[in-house]
Amino acid sequence: MNILRVWTIANNGFQEVIRDRILYFIGLFALMQIIALRLLPEIAAGTHEKILLDFGIGALSLLNVVVAIFVGTGLINKEIEKRTLLMLIPKPISRAELIVGKHLGLWAVLAITVSIGMVVYLGMLSFSGITYPFGALVIAAIYLLIELALLIAVAILFGVFTSSILATLLSFGVYLMGHFSQDLVELGKLSKNEGIEAITTSFYLILPDLSRLDLKNEAVYGLLPNTSDLIGHGLYGLLYTTLLLVIAITIFAQKEF
């Protein structure tokens, strides 16, 4: 794999996503924050500060997840539909370089949107005089980026062998199930049924456990896992992302155009 070619594909992908006006999501997020800052103190007196803390980091996470899935599922499909892939394949660009480059390009865009969104979020909290655990929220944002990298890999994996619509639905399914996979295991145990317990355990083992990377609920209270757990969760996300990309590359390599 040639690093220079991967960088070129990532840069082109980055510029393409930026041209799709993805940064408008930052404006939407800022507008949501302003509305929340104006309305919540009037309708939730006494608890509005906690709600604002939860709402801001939650909205930022959800908006970026939507972008990761909707754009990620179309990264390869769009090349196929526009027939531009037919021009890329004969060139000295491997399919692995194409997928990795596309992944890094979209992740770079989301890194910018998360960073700007956090500046807006923390700036508005400071402007409103609301105290917040700065360090914990920054760490939660870093783990959000790891989660987004994993979700982009999920979206690309489904996108290389299904339609964009089906890939989007499957990716959202993985996102939802990934956040509740631990609860599924507990439900399986409560059912006292070996068949159901085996199914829920299988889902837990196969699907990514995204709750490991979702630190926002703890971060607003300034509570985070210990350092060893944080390192373990981060490595889990990165290794899972790598595995998904390898599978996507393997499937994509078998396709004929």
Ramachandran sector of residue 178 (left: φ over 0; alpha: ψ -120 to 50; beta: rest): alpha
Distance CA 217, CA 206 (A): 25
Q: Which residues contact 84 (CB under 8 A, 6 or more apart)?
A: none
Residues of the chain with pLDDT under 50: none
Distance CA 173, CA 171 (A): 5
Asked whether 51 and 44 are in contact (CB, 8 A), the reply is: yes
pLDDT at 239 (0 to 100): 95
pTM of the model: 0.89
* 84-124 per-position pLDDT tens digit: 555 555 566 678 888 999 999 999 999 999 999 999 999 98
